[in-house]
């Protein structure tokens, strides 16, 4: 194994610091929500945002002068640029081999569907509608459901990935 290939450059950490630069501002937003609502979950989010990428779990091998990063704390907040970048990179690593294999034979399309914001108890039915809508869309694309005078099968549907950003 080429150990050089596994080294992390200082720039990586500088980029990470840049990505979490606004986390303090986001944490203040959650602090205000905590004051307004008294909901303790906002306090947890605030602390998590402030602590994002602030500590690393490292195995240190002094003889070899190697630090093996085993764990990094991530806040996983939907507004944290760093954590969203990590999530996007994980999705890329997970799905790009599949998409690359299909790339020569199929047109790959990307579609973003949004709905207006909903509050608390409106969320479960909204998610349910989105799941049903996706299933309904796939019915058309796969040719199982048709619209008179329009042939969806001409597009050669092979499959779909769905990601819910919440």
Q: Which residues bind Zn ion (CB under 5 A)?
A: 52, 75, 80, 82-83
Residue 123 CB, nearest approach to Zn ion (Å): 22
Cα–Cα dist 23/8, whole Å: 23
DSSP 72: E
Helix (H, G, I), strand (E, B) or coil at 71: strand
Q: How many CB atoms lie within 10 A of CB 135?
A: 11
Q: Among residues 71 and 122, whose Cβ is nearest to Zn ion?
A: 71
Residue 90 CB, nearest approach to Zn ion (Å): 13
Which residues, 6+ apart, have CB-to-CB distance to 87 below 8 Å?
Answer: none
Residue 14 CB, nearest approach to Zn ion (Å): 16
Residue 150 CB, nearest approach to Zn ion (Å): 44
Q: Among residues 43 and 126, whose Cβ is nearest to Zn ion?
A: 43
Helix (H, G, I), strand (E, B) or coil at 19: helix
Q: Among residues 72 and 138, whose Cβ is nearest to Zn ion?
A: 72
**What φ, ψ does residue 56 adopt, rounded to 5°?**
-125, 135
Q: Among residues 27 and 83, whose Cβ is nearest to Zn ion?
A: 83
């Amino acid at each position: 194994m080429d150990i050089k290939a596994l080294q992390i450059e200082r720039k990586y950490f500088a980029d990470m610091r840049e990505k979490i630069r606004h986390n303090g501002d986001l944490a203040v937003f959650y602090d205000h929500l905590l004051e307004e609502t008294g909901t303790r979950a906002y306090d947890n989010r605030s602390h998590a945002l402030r602590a994002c990428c602030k500590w690393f779990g490292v195995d240190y091998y002094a003889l070899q002068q190697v630090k093996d990063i085993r764990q990094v704390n991530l806040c996983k907040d939907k507004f944290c640029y760093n954590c969203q970048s990590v999530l996007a990179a994980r999705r890329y690593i997970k799905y790009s081999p599949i998409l690359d294999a299909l790339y020569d034979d199929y047109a790959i399309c990307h579609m973003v569907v949004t709905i207006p914001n909903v509050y608390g108890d409106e969320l479960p039915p909204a998610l349910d509608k989105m799941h049903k809508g996706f299933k309904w869309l796939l019915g058309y694309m796969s040719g199982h459901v048709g619209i008179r005078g329009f042939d969806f099968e001409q597009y050669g549907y092979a499959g779909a990935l769905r990601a819910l950003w919440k």
